[in-house]
Structure 1
Amino acid sequence: MASQDRKTLILDATEALLLEIGNAELTMRKVASRAGISLGNLQYHFSTREDLLLALLLRFLEPYEANLNRRAADGSADLTETLHSLFREVLTHPDFDRYSVIFKEIWAAATHSADIRAALDAYYVRLAAFYRSFLEGAGADALQAERAVLILLPLLEGSCVTRKAIGRPAEDLAAIWAEAFALILGQKG
């Protein structure tokens, strides 16, 4: 098996275990067993648990960020509908619930790992820049966009934890959030 295929196998096993048992119970031995390889082989590819989780985080973020970066706001479109479309896309993504669980487990790991925390911080800086640019492209000025991002990032990230407890369909949340942000941006009265 090629080295890249082996790494994919290992990361798939890690993801499955995070979903099943969570970060607190995740061990290198359990990952090796799930992947069907020896612990030594696992450590050849990922020398520490932190290296393994960091690689999983980066694999997780790449397609998400690539999808966001393909999206640009159209300043000629209605701001509320533009935001509604963006929020709907995020909240109704077919893997939203699975990604939420994995991301929560990685957040937990970040409390004990400076490298994972740094990778998350860098991701949030990029995400904030994307949303600022998106909002400015949708007609917000720089100050409005900055203020909206200060609310938007915690709202979206918090939805990973609270969405099921709120009990509202994703479509409803997308519409409510779009209207709220149009008000925040002073584009709806």
Structure 2
Amino acid sequence: MDQTITASNRSQKETQILECALKLLIETGDAGLTMRRIADCAGMRLSNVQYYFKSRDDVLVAMVAQYFDACADNLLRLTEESKARTERERVRFLVNAGLSHGQEISDMCRAFREIWAISSRNNVIDQCLMRYYRRFADLMANYALSDELGTADREKVKALLVPYFEGYSVTARSLNLKNDVVVDMVTDIALSLMRRAMRQ
């Protein structure tokens, strides 16, 4: 199966298979993601699922790519709908969006944790994960960072925020600070880094 197919080009059955695979990944983890369970969830015969996806790895790669596209599209939609106008408002909006999943165990957190685990033993999934984070970082930079920042300085701000967002999603529930306090603190650090870079 060609993994470059986009979600909009997939058939209804392919989309249904991938949605079931994601549901199973979230509910049962990687170990519960078998072709037979995917077929049962989708209400199809195993041979029908295998017609579209020859192996579990084919399903996994397509599901992860589709999921990451949806995550990136959601971030893009949020930034387009944002009422933030000033640089501080845009950075704060982005930081808040990036940290919002840290206070609860959401389906998004569950999906990412399973995908991270799979990526540690599957190079193709690891590459999908790296592409997603690069895309996420670029969307973030295009929305929130000043055009006056040079390429190297944009990379520094991305290197600060993206790992912080991901680490925070794992550790936030164990920390004593309220989310708004953390959002303001990270916003101030990012803006300080940007302003220092522009003064140099």
* Counterpart residue number, 2:95: 87
Which stretch shows the higher mean deviation, 136-145 or 103-112? 136-145
Shift of 1:101: 0.9
Q: Once superposed, what is the RMSD of the aligned Cα atoms? A: 2.9
* Counterpart residue number, 2:138: 129
Matched, 1:104 2:141: no
Number of matched pairs: 182
Matched, 1:10 2:28: no
Mapped partners of 2:85, 2:171: distance in 1:
30
Matched, 1:21 2:28: yes
SS of the residue 1:47 aligns to = coil
Mapped partners of 1:48, 1:168: distance in 2:
45
Structure 2, unmatched stretches of 5+, are 1-9
Matched, 1:36 2:52: no
Deviations 1:81-118 (A, max 9, x none): 3211112234447x982111111111212222222122
Which stretch shows the higher mean deviation, 77-86 or 22-31? 77-86
Structure 1, unmatched stretches of 5+, are none
The one-letter code matched in structure 2 to 1:80 is R
* Residue pair 1:92, 1:171 contacting (<8 A) in 2 also: no
The one-letter code matched in structure 2 to 1:153 is V
| TM, length-normalised to structure 1 | 0.79
Shift of 1:22: 0.7
Q: Cα gap change, 1:155/1:134 in structure 2, threshold over 3 Å: closer, same or farther?
A: same
* Residue pair 1:50, 1:116 contacting (<8 A) in 2 also: no
SS of the residue 1:80 aligns to = helix
Q: Cα gap change, 1:96/1:69 in structure 2, threshold over 3 Å: closer, same or farther?
A: farther
Mapped partners of 1:130, 1:42: distance in 2:
34
Mapped partners of 2:174, 2:28: distance in 1:
21
SS of the residue 1:186 aligns to = helix
- How is 1:43-62 mapped onto 2 (pairs within 5 angstroms)? 43-62=50-69
Deviations 1:22-47 (A, max 9, x none): 11332222222222222211111111
Q: Cα gap change, 1:136/1:85 in structure 2, threshold over 3 Å: closer, same or farther?
A: closer
* Residue pair 1:81, 1:178 contacting (<8 A) in 2 also: no
Mapped partners of 1:41, 1:20: distance in 2:
23
Percent identity between the two aligned chains: 27
SS of the residue 2:11 aligns to = helix
* Counterpart residue number, 1:142: 151
* Residue pair 1:82, 1:138 contacting (<8 A) in 2 also: no
